[in-house]
Amino acid sequence: MRVDKFLKVSRLIKRRTVAKDVSDQGRVLVNGREAKPSSSVKEGDEITIQFGQKLVTVRVERTAETTKKDEAAQLYTVIKEEPISKSNDLW
């Protein structure tokens, strides 16, 4: 599944166009590598997203073409959330 679609379906990012823009800006890593919107993700992959001054890392538990709002959080597990500081700035 494309990373931009996963971010939208899982509701980590509300709209696919926003997920695409975030990926285009280099603010998404898949398994430690910068991801384009079309990058593929599968179960077990780790996705790190830069939200403003915060980094969120999640593990993909499963993929789905569509999901209901209350089931979206089951698609991933949050591994860590951390503020961005000068010492851990990945970008």
Does residue 22 sit within a domain?
yes
- Domain of 7 in residue numbering reads as 3-85
pLDDT-derived band at 88 (thresholds 50, 70, 90) equals low
Mean pLDDT of the chain: 92
Cα(82)–Cα(47) distance, integer angstroms = 14
Selected residue with higher pLDDT from 27 and 85:
27
Predicted TM-score (pTM) of this structure:
0.87
Residue 12's CATH number: 3.10.290.10
Q: How many domains does the chain have?
A: 1
Is residue 65 pLDDT above 60, yes or no? Answer: yes
Return contacts of 84-87, CB within 8 angstroms, 24+ apart: 84/50, 84/53, 84/54, 84/55
pLDDT-derived band at 87 (thresholds 50, 70, 90) equals low
Is residue 21 pLDDT above 90, yes or no? Answer: yes
